[in-house]
Amino acid sequence: MEGSKVSDLPYLMLTNVSYSYGKSNILKNICDMSGEKISLETLLNTIKSCRKMINKINSTIEYIFTIYTCNVLSIILLDLLNYSIGINLIDIFWTSFLTISIGGLCIFLDFLNEEDIYYGNLLDKNILKDNKVNFFVRGIFINALLGGIIYILLRQDFQYMMLAVNLVNNIIFAVYSLKFFKFNPFKNSICRNIFILNLILQMLYIGIKYYHNLITMVSS
């Protein structure tokens, strides 16, 4: 039970566990627990929110490491196909610090809708150690999808290969963040807007960088 006034003292003394909040020194000395400005309900909700945040932090880490694995494999794949020369520092910066970072932020901000899972004594579980195989396997799977698209474009003798690779690569990385939502992400206005912003940024980047190529493609 909880109380904030001296008048609550009688029933607080009858409970097995008592909690006081407020400025009453009498209640603070008698009750088992006390919080000057935090009610018991607020404290419990804070603990619950923290557990949800931990779940989302784990999901965000899983997303980031999976996509970074895929990103490295993509560069290796393009190098084997002699297209690595088309990758520059701006592309790497854009993908690593914008596309992936925004995707991770979108996942984390969904923590209020996360399932509340009690970890017990497993709170310090090492997510990198336990999921490193999954990071690699999922990275290979996503990269295989990109490789399939590259193969189709090569068969068609597509001359704007790097344009397509950059666009598809970043779109896949952005869309993959949806996997880590526990519900329809478009019910959350903040996450929805961030996700849409991420897609728009990809289009703008490709449009600005490959402007002349796009004009040539449209006019041909």
Please write the tens of the pLDDT for every residue from 63-90: 888 888 888 887 777 777 776 655 677 7
Residue 104 backbone zone (phi > 0: left; psi -120 to 50: alpha; other: beta) = alpha
Residue 160's SS3 state is coil
Tell me the per-residue pLDDT of 111-142, one tens digit each, with 9 for 90 and over: 766 665 555 555 555 555 666 677 778 778 87
- For the whole model, what pTM was predicted? 0.69
Please compute the mean of the pLDDT values over residues 157-166 and round it to a whole number: 69
Of residues 210 and 106, more confidence is placed in 106
Please state, in angstroms and rounded to a whole number, the distance separating the CA atoms of residues 187 and 184. 6
Residue 66: what pLDDT? 84
